[in-house]
Amino acid sequence: MAFSYLEKKAFKNGFKIIAGADEAGRGSLAGPVAGAVVVARIEGSPQTLFRGLPSTAIKDSKQLSANQREEIFERMIQEPRIKWKVSFIWPSVIDRINILQATKLAWKRCLKKLDFQPDFLFIDGNQGIEKLKIEQQIVIKGDQKIFLVSLASIIAKVSRDKLMERLSIKYPEYNFSQHKGYGTKLHLKNLKKFGPCAIHRKSFKPVKTGVVKI
């Protein structure tokens, strides 16, 4: 996947540093939501990093296998031309401010942690970030259309999966390493048997209602 028409247009319009933002774990019943922001300059395009991969390799993380995501992730963390940050917002905050605001908070924290700020940001979905002093554009299914958003999707997904695998060791009865906190049949079965743990989202059904249908 190369820079999209919209990304090329942003560069042609004079923006020097553009970024893409996406999340992982928004619909999960347990664990944090992960937000990621990936940045590229007009010079030193990061696309050459992915030579040798199929042209369709960089896309929405949900359309890739775990091995494919891992390969792309490993290339990214070794590439100095790609700057990225990931941030986790935990269930206690999600329950207090809701999942949409938690996702936006994760992106804001990513932007604050970057060594330099982008002057244009593409965001996956239909909601922008309020009071952001950066030009932004929301793109429906941006993780399938925008190169940098696709990379952010992969970063968020791999980072969160790794975290959920570690949490599975702390909470072995829930098998988080298998379902990553999503409402699978196995997860619902364990939730019904053991009840919610500290990292379940208490504001999410069926955790909130206690009614678990398997």
Contact 94, 203 (CB under 8 A): yes
Q: Is residue 180 part of a domain?
A: no
Strand partners, 40: 18
Contact 72, 50 (CB under 8 A): yes
Q: Is residue 58 part of a domain?
A: yes
Q: Is residue 185 part of a domain?
A: no
Domain with 150 in it:
5-170
The CATH number that applies at residue 73 is 3.30.420.10
- Look at the chain and report how many structural domains it folds into: 1
> How many Cα atoms occupy the beta-carbon half-sphere of 206 within 13 Å?
15
Q: Is residue 130 part of a domain?
A: yes
Q: Is residue 35 part of a domain?
A: yes
Tens-digit pLDDT string for the chain (214 aa): 578 889 889 988 999 899 999 999 999 999 999 999 999 876 545 555 555 444 445 555 677 888 888 888 888 877 777 889 999 999 999 999 999 999 999 999 999 999 889 999 999 999 999 999 999 999 999 999 998 999 999 999 999 999 999 999 999 999 999 999 999 999 999 999 999 999 999 999 999 998 888 8
Exposure string over 8-41, b if 16+ CB within 10 A, otherwise e: eebbeeebebbbbbbbbbbebbbbbbbbbbbbbe
Q: Is residue 25 part of a domain?
A: yes
* Predicted TM-score of the model (pTM): 0.90
